[in-house]
A and B are shown apart, each in its own frame.
Chain A
Amino acid sequence: MTAVAPTRPTRWRFSPLGLFEALATPHGVDRYLELVNPMLTVRDLRAEVTEVHRSTADTVTLTLRPTRQWRGFQAGQFVQVTVEIDGVRRTRCYSPACSQYRDDGRIELTIKAHPDGIVSQFLHANAAPGLVVGLAQAAGTFQLPQERPGHVLFISGGSGITPVLSMLRTLCDEGYAGQVTFLHYGYTEQDIAYRDELVALAAQHDNVRLVLAYTDQADGGDLHGYFGQEHLEAVAPWHADAETFLCGPPGLMASVRSLYAERGLINRLHFEDFAPAPIVADRDSTGAVSFDRTGRSADNSGATLLEQAEAAGLTPAYGCRMGICFSCTQIKTSGCTRNIRTGAIDADPDTEIQLCISVPVGDVALDL
């Protein structure tokens, strides 16, 4: 998904970059440039934080200026941001909240500080203009259809507002004329990161209706309590003829999904998970997992290979822990694994697998 096809060796042709790379060998040109200015890159994609804004107590909104390798994004997609925290690089996914047409080409991210979150806490506390972060090209299939649907319902909760806000802003920039309802859940009025912005958008566009739902506040707002059939009927009785885009905490995601499934509307529902779905370990797991390079091995616990590697005391790289970012890809030297997202079985030796979504079926050996 995010993998960029490796550049194939082509026939030799003079290029200034080729000359610089031949001079810099075996290190890349960027390994020299970054020591002078990390934003001066020939290959690496990075971004500089240009603005930092804290709109609620536990969120931070960053504006990023990417290097010229940035190819833009489609509303709803995510990027991977890499930061260094106490010497260690950490990569996490964030969905831009701005319109895909933003004219200065910058990206706006809104990040919720999770209580024990490593990256979100770090950015919330330390992000300042001038900070340079690693960036990966946008990816993800959570997007508006190219042919825009007749009506659109957005449902979001908490920090899940970002990708659907990007979609709303993008539709507004396009002069979209269909009916739009933006249903957003938050604990209280104080927890809504983009409140003023949303109110203004709804005021400027007759076809946009904003519905704010508070779960922990009895007055104010448009709705109260958790999502349910009544909320859906109240705000979008026409939802069966619309496309619905959903992103939020696991509880919200589950109740919307089951209601749509019940009504046979699941193919009209598009969603993005921010948090990994809990994984039920295989009860009848057999065999052992061996880590060739470190010479360690352990009984197969049925958990994902990433968790088993960590339990064995290893610290393999990882990112999303849900099969998206490919940060945890490693070589499986032998054995059979099952992809917990697709159920697919992989029995080929010496293949790359994503540790975070692969569970061993019997003995498995990893080059780790």
Chain B
Amino acid sequence: MTSATVTLTTEQIDELGRELDALKQRVVGDLGQEDRDYIYNVIKAQRALEVAGRASFYLGFLPPFWLAGVAALSLSKILDNMEIGHNVMHGQYDWMRDPALNSKMFEWDTACPSDQWRHSHNYMHHTYTNILGKDRDIGYGLLRMDESQKWNPYYLGNPVYAFALMTFFQYGVALHDLEAENLVTGRRKMSENTALLNGIWRKIGKQTLKDYVLFPALTGPLFVSTLAGNATANLVRNVWAYSIIFCGHFPSGVATFTEEETADESRGAWYVRQMMGSANITGSKLFHVLSGNLSHQIEHHLFPDIPARRYPQIAAEVQALCEKYGLPYNTGRFSKQIGSTWAKIFRLALPFGTRGQKDTPPAVTVVPKKVPVAA
């Protein structure tokens, strides 16, 4: 099958880089009180939901209250992890110089310690986005998410592993930096993980104490009911976070890259990779907030450090730039994106490639405008 090819000259790629840099400068220059008010309003909503959820469990023997408690606490954890935690740790609010929202100091309501997340996510994933062999977010060392990952019989369990990862997502994320797959192959030594493991244990200890000991104990005879409510809220958050994140890079039509392709890439080419390697989800305003605006994964990958509320505001301009340069702008309904992600998980469990699939992303060929004189 012949996939479409976008041909860009180096000059065009540099021009695209300049246009995106200018767009970012415009947003950064406009940051101010509104952005601060926005994030503090989200925080207020999150804390109010948390308090309401925890309080509802005192009436947890009445099913509507138990369900309301789970709903409120789930929403609280989702907001904490997505629109607040993930984005704050990207440094989106560092310009406010507020220690409570500083990327280096913020800690979130999930098992993964923030400093390890900043390394594996902010640095590794955002720098080497979708580069095979470098971006460990491609399959998380657990799944086969790209044809070029060589098949072996282990991958027959692909859907099962994916389901388990979804269910225990917070622990999967916490253990991500340990690089378990590299321990198996001997590329990493267990001793390199001692400090990381200590950090993970400390964080998991605190989280467990809070959700599974103290808050249940404070409801006295309702211990088990509260514990079950907290566990359910953590599960709901896990499923939601997993789904949004998997929609970011794995729907059909998203490109992956090789190390050779991306060696010595220019700023413009880096932008092109971020755009080709990410996918958006359409939805309502509330949906965007609950996804931490990762429904604008393309804008997020271009500018991971501008406040996420700005992504919807610049989306039209980014899409127009994609059109101008003939680049795809991958977007779709949540059901479509998550459906195609799960389809890929099932398909890649088997050794066959995707020949005949029409979702192969276009290849970008870079043509230097002035053809150098052959040496």
Chain A residues within 8 Å of B, Cβ to Cβ: 19, 22-23, 25-27, 31-32, 35, 84, 86-90, 315, 317
When C-beta atoms are compared, the residue in chain B nearest to A87 turns out to be B36
- Distance A22 CA – B212 CA, assembled complex (angstroms): 12
- Distance A270 CA – B51 CA, assembled complex (angstroms): 53
- Distance A315 CA – B95 CA, assembled complex (angstroms): 7
Cβ of B151 within 8 Å of any chain A Cβ, yes or no, is no
- Distance A19 CA – B213 CA, assembled complex (angstroms): 12
In the complex, how many angstroms separate the beta carbon of A118 from the nearest chain B beta carbon? Answer: 12
Interface pair A22/B97, CB less than 8 Å apart: no
Which segment, of B26-34, B232-240, B308-316, faces chain A? B26-34
Interface pair A35/B32, CB less than 8 Å apart: no
- Distance A283 CA – B32 CA, assembled complex (angstroms): 38
- Distance A25 CA – B47 CA, assembled complex (angstroms): 12
Chain B residues within 8 Å of A, Cβ to Cβ: 31-37, 43-44, 47, 51, 95-98, 100, 107-109, 203, 206-207, 209-210, 214-215
Interface pair B44/A22, CB less than 8 Å apart: no
When C-beta atoms are compared, the residue in chain B nearest to A317 turns out to be B97
Residues from chain A with a CB closer than 8 A to the CB of B51 are 32
Interface pair B95/A23, CB less than 8 Å apart: no
- Distance A89 CA – B101 CA, assembled complex (angstroms): 11
Interface pair B44/A87, CB less than 8 Å apart: no
A-B contacts, 13 listed (Cβ < 8 Å)? A22-B206, A22-B210, A23-B214, A25-B207, A25-B210, A26-B109, A32-B47, A32-B51, A35-B44, A35-B47, A86-B32, A87-B35, A87-B96
Residues from chain A with a CB closer than 8 A to the CB of B32 are 86-88
Interface pair A89/B43, CB less than 8 Å apart: no
Given contacts A26-B107, A27-B107, A315-B95, is CB(A87)–CB(B33) below 8 Å? Answer: yes
Interface pair B206/A25, CB less than 8 Å apart: yes
Residues from chain B with a CB closer than 8 A to the CB of A86 are 32-33
> Residue B100 contacts which of A31, A87, A315 (CB distance < 8 angstroms)?
A31
- Distance A214 CA – B37 CA, assembled complex (angstroms): 46
Residues from chain A with a CB closer than 8 A to the CB of B33 are 86-87
Interface pair A26/B96, CB less than 8 Å apart: no
- Distance A317 CA – B34 CA, assembled complex (angstroms): 20
- Distance A35 CA – B44 CA, assembled complex (angstroms): 7
Given contacts A87-B35, A88-B96, is CB(A35)–CB(B43) below 8 Å? Answer: yes
Interface pair A87/B215, CB less than 8 Å apart: no
Interface pair A88/B95, CB less than 8 Å apart: yes
